[in-house]
Amino acid sequence: MGLRVEGLVKRFGDLTAVDSLDLAVPEGSFFGLLGPNGAGKTTLIRSVVGLCEPDEGHIEVLGVPAWGRRGAEARRLIGYAPQEVALDRFVPVREALELHGRYFGMSRRDAVARAREMLATFELEDKATSYANLLSGGMRRRLLLARALVHRPRLVILDEPTAGVDIELRHDLWAHISRLHADGTTILLTTHYLEEAEALCERVAFMRDGQIVTEGAPAELRGRFGAGRLEDVYLRVVGR
């Protein structure tokens, strides 16, 4: 499995953000996590990448337990683009990519070469010496995605990577992510754009109140619920 989550529970005070959640993302698959605001998608993801400590449950990344003795090993396998843009504003774009590669264990030489490659791929060469806080919103999204990929992770987790980007860039980002998937990378994506999930994901899971409500291939789900679009399935299973 690319990612296996079993019995995950995360509470914030009285609120149970993730509630005994099970999830299995097959290795090499493109998996979509859908659901309304506050469903617990980001909390689930942050538990996987080591930023949110689970209260209960077990998480495995490509067979490696994400918490406990082998946590470091697991974290090295993951590339993560957070929902909130959080970029180091004291460091120029090129250096931010290089530093990230080195945080994740690349040699300086590899990181430099790979950062150059990422700048080209995401058309950020003109901004290589700019500081992250001076980039436009779309550029920041590209940088976040580039950063997630620098160290060639085998599991890529993208939390609303296309939030707030224009239509053209959205299609560019889709192309990048699809290429990644074609190369065998396991991808977990959250999005509020259902047509995006339908176009990209092999499987989707609908989440609500910290639990997975239903799960399957988009076409299969449409069939199961007699719906014309994934959006109709969404409204049926997690809509208010």
Ligand X SMILES: Nc1ncnc2c1ncn2[C@@H]1O[C@H](COP(=O)(O)OP(=O)(O)OP(=O)(O)O)[C@@H](O)[C@H]1O
> What CA–CA distances, in Å, run from 151 to 24, 27, 193?
24, 18, 28
Residue 27 Cα distances to 3, 30, 48, 138, 167, angstroms: 7, 9, 15, 30, 29
Helix axes 167-182, 137-149, angle to 10 degrees: 10
Q: According to CB under 8 A, which one of 13, 14, 53, 167 is a site residue for another protein?
A: 53
Q: Is there binding between residue 83 and ligand X (CB under 6 A)?
A: yes
User: Which is nearer to ligand X, 38 or 63 (by Cβ)?
Assistant: 38
Minimum distance of ligand X from residue 107's CB (angstroms): 35
Closest to Mg ion by CB, 8 or 93:
8
Count of residues in contact with Mg ion, rule CB under 5 A: 3
Q: Does 75 bind another protein (CB under 8 A)?
A: yes
Segment interacting with ligand X (CB under 6 A) among 32-40, 99-107, 117-125, 232-240: 32-40
Shortest approach of another protein to residue 199 CB, angstroms? 28
Q: Does 239 bind ligand X (CB under 6 A)?
A: no
Q: Phi first, then psi: what are they for 108, rounded to 5°?
A: -55, -40
Residues that bind Mg ion (CB under 5 A): 41-42, 83
